[in-house]
Amino acid sequence: MILKPHFLFTRYKNSFSVKVKNLEKLTVAQIQAIEEFVRERKGVFDFNAYSFVIQKRLEFNAFAALLKSVNLNAFCEENIPEEKFYKRVGFGQYKGMRYDELPDSYLQWLKSNYRGYEKEDIAEELKKRNL
C-alpha cells in the first residue's frame, strides 16, 4: 500500500509553509511530484526540515483545492499558530513584521548570514518551526 503525503499547512502573512510529516516513508516518485509542485510555484523545498515554502498568500482551503487541481493526492491538515505576543523584526526588508510571519526561506538565510543583536530571536523562531 502506498501512503499519501501528509502535509501540515501553516499560513503566514505573505507566504505559507508546509511540513511533509511522512517524507521519509514516501516513494521517490511521490517526492519528485512534490518537488515539481513546489518548483512550478517558485518555492523552496528543504529536505533537512521536511518542508517547503511558497511566497504567496494562500488560505488552507485554496491550497487543498490547488493540490486537487494538479492531481497531487495528499492528506492535508492546517496548523494554526497560537496567538500571543511576538517580537518584531528591527532591520531589513521585513522590518516591522513579526518573526512568526517571516518565510522559512528567509529565516534559514538569516541563520547563516545574520550576525546582529536579534540573532537569538531568529534562533528561537527557527526552533519553534523545527527548522
Per the CB < 8 A criterion, the answer to whether 122 and 100 are in contact is no
Q: Tell me the C-alpha distance between 17 and 22, whole Å.
A: 15
Classified as helix, coil or strand, 119 is helix
* 29, part of any domain: yes
Number of domains comprising the chain: 1
Residue range of the domain that includes 56: 6-79
49 located within any domain: yes
Prediction pTM value:
0.64
Note the pLDDT tens digit of each residue in 40-73. Answer: 998 899 888 899 988 888 889 999 999 999 999 9
69-107 tens-digit pLDDT: 999 999 999 998 766 667 889 888 888 888 888 888 899
**Would you say 51 and 23 are in contact if contact means Cβ atoms under 8 Å apart?**
no
Phi-psi region of 110 (alpha: psi -120 to 50; beta: other; left: phi over 0): alpha
